[in-house]
Amino acid sequence: MEKRYNVPANTITRNVEKFTVPTGNIYESVMIIAKRANQISAELKQELSKKLEEFSGISDTMEEVFENREQIEMSRYYEKLPKPGLFATQEFLEGRIYFRKAESNK
């Protein structure tokens, strides 16, 4: 995933009016944030899977996997990251998400 930004790890109170500025509609803004959060989640999952593949081997037993400290530390790092929705919300409020409305052909 791209550079990690300074995102609070827990929820904070936000001004709802700021969400309507880019789109004019709170529901459209929430959908944009939700779609971006899904993208971020997929990127994080893929990144973690690639890193964990380094630890997997053909002869690994379950005991060896559970005892691998580096693997456990890596998993804990990803567990402590802010949720994808918080990343997406921060990106949206800072104007770092590109979005467009679908053209209607009526």
Where is pLDDT greater, at 106 or 84?
84
In contact, 36 and 88? CB cutoff 8 Å: yes
Q: Does the residue 88 lie in any domain?
A: yes
Supply the range of the domain harboring residue 87. Answer: 60-95
Above 70 in pLDDT, residue 32? yes
**Count of domains forming the chain:** 1
Q: Does the residue 82 lie in any domain?
A: yes
For residue 52, which of 69, 67, 71 has the smallest C-alpha distance?
A: 71
Q: How buried is residue 67: exposed, middle or buried, by Cβ count under 10 Å (0-12/13-18/19+)?
A: exposed
Dump pLDDT digits (tens) for 44-62.
999 988 888 877 665 556 6
pTM summary value: 0.78
For residue 42, which of 9, 7, 75, 88 has the smallest C-alpha distance?
A: 88
**DSSP-assigned letter for residue 1:** -
Q: Does the residue 38 lie in any domain?
A: no
Q: Determine the distance from the C-alpha atom of residue 28 to the mean position of all C-alpha atoms in its chain, rounded to a whole number.
A: 19
